[in-house]
Amino acid sequence: MALPRRGLSNGGVDDEEVTVGIGPVPVEDVVAVARNGARVRISVEARDAMARARAVVEELAAAPTPAYGISTGFGALATRHIPTEMRTQLQRSLVRSHAAGSGPEVEREVVRALMLLRLSTLATGHTGVRPETAELMAALISAGITPVVHEYGSLGCSGDLAPLAHCALALMGEGQVRDASGTLLPAAEALAAAGLAPVTFEAKEGLALINGTDGMLGMLVLAITDLRRLLRTADIAAAMSVEGQLATDRVFAPELQAIRPHPGQASSAANLVALLADSGVVASHRGPDCNRVQDAYSLRCSPQVHGAARDTVEYAATVAERELASAVDNPVVIGGAVESNGNFHGAPVAYVLDFLAIVAADVASISERRTDRFLDKARNHGLPPFLAHDPGVDSGHMIAQYTQAAIVSELKRLAAPASVDSIPSSAMQEDHVSMGWSAARKLRRSVDGLTRVVAIEVLTAARALDLRAPLTPSPATAAVVRLLREAGIEGPGPDRHLSPEIETAFRLVDSGAVLAAVEELIGELN
């Protein structure tokens, strides 16, 4: 399920540097490290906090009384007291055995986000990891060394154990990594080439490095970033469809939105009003001769659907912000003691990851319905069937809608929640798990699918607007049509190879170029 994303997906590091302190990592820093290759440094305050917590761990390690995670086994094996001389082996064995992932490699941006967020928890001073261990993780991120993490292995409870264990394995100089150029090589070689020495984990360190929700959280943060851009772009696509299908803009008036005061709906409707301002196409049928009583739901209700999606994304962002401010580990160093807890359970993150998959599926669904109306001569108000140059000889955008439909169908399947599918593990000690990692993995595919569906709507609507000539589109939608044409997508004409045009439109939507073309002209959308 590995998907290409924007940013330095094939390696490389940037001159930008972010600081990890004892507070939450800002979302923009997560994106900078994950996608733009930003380097990482740890603040002095965070180093001091880690040193204080480490002193607590070392005191407990020297005590005769067993302390979970420090001088005992793990999970269902927690009742065994481990003698001092075997504790280094305990941590080494923990990481090796938990690095049990399988399947395709996870994307570089996900692994970098995961490592940054684990480092952020270490920096809080609640895990008991030595500062030098955290510094090595920061050095790997800054050097562009990315451990190989696999698709399968996390149940999202006790954190993303297997993915995090593969990262911890690299700190030991074991396992496989990719260097800044994307070359696959043994971790020991990559560390040596970067002038770094592997670490030997001491009491509690192996456990602290693998017991977090960082993988699912990193993917949540990236998905929220993408969906915020995509929902504004979906408003642009909807405006182009409303315009191209001779629909009314009156239903988007602010006084009609105010009587149902959902904030996302108001934002989406305001975008549509701004996008359709000064449209010659809309003005052409605004007079008393217009016999259109009501437009189809997919046109008229776009703000209601896009708005509900926005509100759901913002709720997910609230959960992400809380998780970014959390220190997720078990046990934790708190108040001069080490306490067991259940904060590693991924339920809060898993739920919103599932919610966002529903959002992606439904926004894609309404986008596909708007596209389909362009292609049916009984519903497209005077446009040629399938927007074809010579219908019968040419098929126009007929099969582009098939592609949309295939993606929407898959998105509906991906909207089935992962978070309700708990499977017990560790001899029933870990008898209820979140499956948050799985929810995050399918959401990434959902976001990719939504991007492609919106791109096809933009592509089709642009062709329709050209066919409405001599009527002129609004300045905002005309800017999108111009962007497509400048990118090499030709206007209406005989059939040509359509797949490259779809991919070009996808890249323009995915990169934010469509959104930028509009916002440079009319200002920032809501």
Residue 357 lies in a domain: yes
Parallel, antiparallel, or unpaired for β 150-152 and 332-334?
unpaired
Q: Cα(232)–Cα(230) distance, rounded to whole angstroms?
A: 5
Residue 1 lies in a domain: no
Note down the domain range covering 257: 220-327+346-424+434-522
Asked whether residue 224 falls in the same domain as residue 189, the answer is no
Which of these three, 154, 188, 212, is where a domain ends? 212
Asked whether residue 289 falls in the same domain as residue 314, the answer is yes
Asked if residues 143 and 42 have their Cβ atoms less than 8 Å apart, the reply is: no
Question: What pLDDT score does 441 carry?
Answer: 97
Residue 142 lies in a domain: yes
Asked whether residue 285 falls in the same domain as residue 196, the answer is no
- DSSP alpha helices (H): ranges in 63-204? 87-98, 108-123, 131-142, 161-171, 187-193
464-496 pLDDT per residue, tens: 999 999 999 999 999 999 999 999 999 999 999
CATH number, position 93: 1.10.275.10
Asked whether residue 374 falls in the same domain as residue 491, the answer is yes
Residue 4 lies in a domain: no
- Tell me: pLDDT of 201 over 90: yes
Residue 134 lies in a domain: yes
State the catalytic residue, choosing from 68, 152, 297, 402: 68
Q: Cα(137)–Cα(401) distance, rounded to whole angstroms?
A: 46
Which of these three, 193, 212, 231, is where a domain ends? 212
384-411 pLDDT per residue, tens: 999 999 999 999 999 999 999 999 999 9
Residue 159 lies in a domain: yes
Q: How many domains is the chain built from?
A: 2
Asked whether residue 182 falls in the same domain as residue 282, the answer is no
Bond preceding residue 24 cis, omega within 30 of 0 = no
Tell me how far apart the terminal alpha carbons of the chain are, to the nearest angstrom: 32
Residue 336 lies in a domain: no
Residue 402 bears catalytic tag? no
Asked whether residue 173 falls in the same domain as residue 228, the answer is no
| Angle subtended by helix axes 302-324 and 27-36, to nearest 10 | 90
Asked whether residue 380 falls in the same domain as residue 501, the answer is yes
Question: What pLDDT score does 13 carry?
Answer: 62
| CA atoms within 13 Å, Cβ hemisphere of 303 | 26
Looking at residues 313-326, what average pLDDT do you find? 97
- What is the distance, to the nearest Å, from the Cα of residue 264 to the centroid of all Cα atoms in its chain? 20
Asked whether residue 122 falls in the same domain as residue 270, the answer is no
CATH number, position 482: 1.20.200.10
Asked whether residue 27 falls in the same domain as residue 167, the answer is yes
Q: Cα(298)–Cα(460) distance, rounded to whole angstroms?
A: 15
Helix (H) or strand (E) holding 17: strand 17-20
> To the nearest whole number, what is the mean pLDDT of the chain?
92
Asked whether residue 318 falls in the same domain as residue 232, the answer is yes
Asked if residues 398 and 386 have their Cβ atoms less than 8 Å apart, the reply is: yes
447-467 pLDDT per residue, tens: 999 999 999 999 999 999 999
Asked whether residue 448 falls in the same domain as residue 497, the answer is yes
Which of these three, 212, 247, 279, is where a domain ends? 212
Q: Cα(148)–Cα(157) distance, rounded to whole angstroms?
A: 21
- For residue 267, give both structure tokens: 């934002």
Residue 247 lies in a domain: yes
Asked whether residue 320 falls in the same domain as residue 465, the answer is yes
